[in-house]
Amino acid sequence: MTGEGATVDEAADDYDIAVIGAGPAGTAAALRARELGATVVVLEAEHLGGTCVNSGCVPTRVLAKAARLIRDASTAHEHGVEVSGVGIDWPTLVERVHGRVDEVRAMKREAQRFADAGVDLIEEGRARFEDAHTLVLDSGRRVRAASILVCVGGHSRRLPIPGAELATMPEEVLHLAALPSRVAVIGGGNTGAQLVTVLNAFGAEVTLLDIAPRILMPSDAAIADEVSAAFRRVGVTVCAGIASIDELRRVDGDRIELRWTDAGEAQAERFDAVVMAAGWPADVDDLGLERAGIRPERSAIPVDEYFRSAVPHIYAVGDANGRDMLVQAAQFEGEAAAENAVVGANRRTSHLLLPAGGFTDPDYAGVGLTEEQARARDEQCVVATVRYDQLDRAVIDDRGTGFLKLIADRRRSLILGAHAVGENAVEVIQSVTTAMAAGIDVATLANVRFAYPTYTAIVGLAARAVLAEPTRASELH
Ligand SMILES: Cc1cc2nc3c(=O)[nH]c(=O)nc-3n(C[C@H](O)[C@H](O)[C@H](O)COP(=O)(O)OP(=O)(O)OC[C@H]3O[C@@H](n4cnc5c(N)ncnc54)[C@H](O)[C@@H]3O)c2cc1C
Ligand SMILES: NC(=O)c1ccc[n+]([C@@H]2O[C@H](COP(=O)([O-])OP(=O)(O)OC[C@H]3O[C@@H](n4cnc5c(N)ncnc54)[C@H](O)[C@@H]3O)[C@@H](O)[C@H]2O)c1
């Protein structure tokens, strides 16, 4: 089967490597494969740069910046700075988001980098498998390759419930004609949590609903607790552990009634908008995977540790394999899969050292094992937490909410994980990641000099706190 309206041409372009998708995964994979001497083609259906630049990280980060400006402008008088008329000019902000996206796209210059490297780029619609070595584009053009790297990313999930079409998907928030006064956000993952901060800062009354027992489930439990508490302090209603979202109905002309079940009780409330951030399945439904002999599982392509699918010359990288759906994972996986495909390497990537975080207020971030995971491996791992209100810089800036938790093995030789909530938490966690990557022990980290007064200095405080934890008898043997 080919795309709608396609005319099938039996001739095909032949390559060593075909990469489907030019997001972070596909771009990194294609450039690395070419660097290793392969002939490479990239097939992109929409925008170069993928989700991250066009509808994910970059637009979200612009909104997060505006949310911070609102917060800072609203509290400026506490610093003796007079600011009046603080508010959001929504059309101007939307225009700014598009402008920043364009700037980042122009800076990334994927098309030019592909051309300079000698990677062919074909933008003739979606690619679909015809067989395990052949792809057909919407245009009808065929591409054959010895190895195929599937880097198709994912899309936001519309829940299969009545009225779901009334929901605003995260990438559609920018299409709202005006900011909603009352909004429900379904899903407290990274996307939903960030949108809660943004919409709250922009003046909306926000209700956050999640079927998971807590928001930000993959993060350390302390992060979820701290961010939930921060949300509640600014008036957000946080309802985690609900039984189900049941229905959306149009009422009062342009409002939406959202129905859900919580603790056996039916609930219904009216909102101006309902944002659905309830998951991110890979874009695998329309790929013709069955013709290549691949069966998706849980809306993603299952792969082994070398990113090989069940068909060894077909790899799945980035959001397409449903593992760590982050830019920093996609890029490393792309490079590793390219090396494995081109030179038969057996490269893996360490997912333990994958820092990640979100731009809520306050920020949160983590790397490595959560406390729960570390304790499951060794109950006697050493855990210490330093609160932001013990950090000079945070007190100076009046940003005393939050903490850094450091987890080390029982001998304090290895840092197993770090988790933070607070101003600049993502950058703080990045410093710990560098230390973990260098394999330094806690005593060495405690001796690192941190510039004063910085947020990163909390890393030194936490390292010293880990060293100060009482030694258990079992550690002495
Ligand atoms: C709102 C939001 C905010 C985010 N913020 C962050 C963040 O701050 N930090 C972070 O690390 N991650 C963030 N992410 C996640 C990040 O965007 C993804 O993990 C990353 O983009 C995955 O890269 P990828 O290359 O696998 O897929 P994508 O970036 O989705 O790229 C896939 C590409 O494949 C193309 N494609 C799909 N199907 C076909 C086909 N059949 N034929 C041809 N082309 C096709 C698509 O058009 C797309 O260009 C965010 C995600 C969202 C939704
Ligand atoms: N800052 C970042 O790094 C960043 C930002 C956004 C997204 N991302 C990545 O993109 C991917 C997608 O993130 P996401 O937040 O869109 O999806 P997600 O799958 O991570 O989170 C979805 C949330 O929706 C909840 N949910 C699912 N079904 C529900 C239902 N029926 N009713 C109520 N709640 C329901 C889940 O429990 C979960 O908390 C993730 O891997 C994420 O890490 C990263």
pLDDT tens, 253-268? 899 999 999 999 999 9
List residues near ligand 1 (CB under 6 A). 20-26, 43-47, 50-52, 56-57, 60, 126-127, 151-153, 170, 191, 283, 287, 318-320, 325-328, 330
User: Does residue 279 have a known ligand-binding role?
Assistant: yes
The pLDDT assigned to 8 comes to 47
Superfamily of domain 362-468: FAD/NAD-linked reductase, C-terminal dimerisation domain (3.30.390.30)
| Residue ranges per structural domain of the chain | 13-155+282-343, 164-276, 362-468
The pLDDT assigned to 351 comes to 72
User: Does residue 392 have a known ligand-binding role?
Assistant: no
The pLDDT assigned to 398 comes to 95
The span from the CA of 202 to the CA of 195, in Å, is: 10
Task: Indicate which residue's Cα is closest to atom 21 of ligand 1.
Answer: 52
Ligand 1 atom with the shortest distance to the CA of 127:
42
Measure the N-to-C terminal CA separation of the chain; round to a whole number of Å: 66
pTM for this model (two decimals): 0.95
Which tokens belong to 415? 């840092």
Question: Under a CB-based contact definition with an 8 Å cutoff, are residues 414 and 360 in contact?
Answer: no
Q: Cα-flanking dihedrals φ and ψ of residue 258, to 5°? A: -105, 130
CA of 104 to the centre of ligand 1 (A): 15
Tell me the ipTM for this assembly: 0.98
Q: Which residues of the chain have pLDDT under 70?
A: 1-10, 472-477
The CB of 122 under 6 Å from ligand 2? The reply is no
Chain centroid offset of residue 366 CA: 12
The CB of 279 under 6 Å from ligand 2? The reply is yes
The CB of 403 under 6 Å from ligand 2? The reply is no
Task: Indicate which residue's Cα is closest to atom 26 of ligand 1.
Answer: 318
Q: Which fold has domain 13-155+282-343?
A: FAD/NAD(P)-binding domain (3.50.50)
The pLDDT assigned to 409 comes to 97
Which tokens belong to 455? 């947020």
Q: What is the CA radius of gyration of the chain?
A: 24
The CB of 190 under 6 Å from ligand 2? The reply is yes
CA of 24 to the centre of ligand 1 (A): 7
The CB of 245 under 6 Å from ligand 2? The reply is yes
SS3 track for the chain: CCCCCCCCCCCEEEEEEEEECCCHHHHHHHHHHHHCCCCEEEECCCCCCHHHHHCCHHHHHHHHHHHHHHHHHHCHHHHCCCCCCCCCCHHHHHHHHHHHHHHHHHHHCHHHHHHHHCCEEECCCCEEEEECCEEEECCCCEEEEEEEEECCCECCCCCCCCCHHHCECHHHHHHCCCCCCEEEEECCCHHHHHHHHHHHHCCCEEEEEECCCCCCCCCCHHHHHHHHHHHHHCCCEEEECCCEEEEEEEECCCEEEEEEEECCEEEEEEECEEEECCCCCECCCCCCHHHHCCCCECCECCCCCCCECCCCCEEECHHHHCCCCCHHHHHHHHHHHHHHHHHCCCCCCCCCCCCEEECCCCCEEEEECCHHHHHHHCCCCEEEEEEHHHCHHHHHCCCCCCEEEEEECCCCCCEEEEEEECCCHHHHHHHHHHHHHHCCCHHHHHHCCCCCCCCCHHHHHHHHHHHHCCCCHHHHC
Instruction: Decide if 164-276 and 362-468 have a common fold.
Output: no
The pLDDT assigned to 358 comes to 97
Which tokens belong to 351? 């997912």
Superfamily of domain 164-276: FAD/NAD(P)-binding domain (3.50.50.60)
The CB of 208 under 6 Å from ligand 2? The reply is no
